[in-house]
Chain A
């Protein structure tokens, strides 16, 4: 099993550019989510999905869009990149949500906006 696959691993964008971070999982997990990791702040939830066709906002959703057309894929779109979006982005999936379900993380995408 590949688990959670994120692409690309590294990306440099110019301010104002748009791009899509890809996330795919092959574990038939219903729950998928995007986090960003900034120094000294741990990981913060951007958007999440509890199943195909269902998405919702997390703690820091501004500047990002998501959609979930299939169980496997959960892309994150940056509409107009800003330097404040320089961060490491993680996609995570889980069989379900709740206190007993662990999360599988992708290897991360390091994004720099100049």
Chain B
């Protein structure tokens, strides 16, 4: 069965520090995609970054990077130089070939302290 696990229900980080949000996944498929979404208090789901299972390089998007370790089945999100506006809920999700859905983790609530 396909599953995403986010083991950190909440994290507190000082402004300007880097933060790593953990995500592990479980699938026997060789072709899959991994996504991170941000959900601020306003409620919308904002796409942050994508990593394909065949991508050899770790994905980066501005201050966001994805630490993809295929053998460990982990896809951690790294936010560099955190800002107060990064305070939000973060979801890791996976899509599979032929699957009609995203599988979501339970989320991590990140709080950035000034």
A31 contacts B by Cβ under 8 Å: yes
Q: In this complex, what residue of B is CB-closest to A57? A: B100
Shortest CB distance A93–B (Å): 12
The interface-forming segment of A17-25, A43-51, A62-70, A71-79 is A43-51
Taken together as a complex, chains A and B put the C-alpha atoms of A103 and B44 apart, in Å, by 13
| In the complex, per-residue mask of B1-45: 1 if CB is within 8 Å of any chain A CB, else 0 | 000100000000000000000000000000111010100001111
A97 contacts B by Cβ under 8 Å: yes
Band of interface residues on A: 20 to 34
Contact B53 A33 (CB under 8 A): no
Q: In this complex, what residue of A is CB-closest to B96? A: A99
* Chain A residues numbered 69-106 whose CB sits less than 8 Å from any CB in chain B: 88, 90, 92, 97-106
Query: A105 contacts which of B4, B33, B42, B45 (Cβ < 8 Å)?
Result: B45
Taken together as a complex, chains A and B put the C-alpha atoms of A31 and B99 apart, in Å, by 12
Shortest CB distance B95–A (Å): 5
Contact B96 A88 (CB under 8 A): no
A sample of 5 cross-chain residue pairs with beta-carbon separation below 8 angstroms, ordered by A number, consists of: A41-B106, A42-B105, A92-B45, A102-B47, A107-B43
CB-based closest 3 A-B pairs: A42-B104, A99-B33, A105-B45
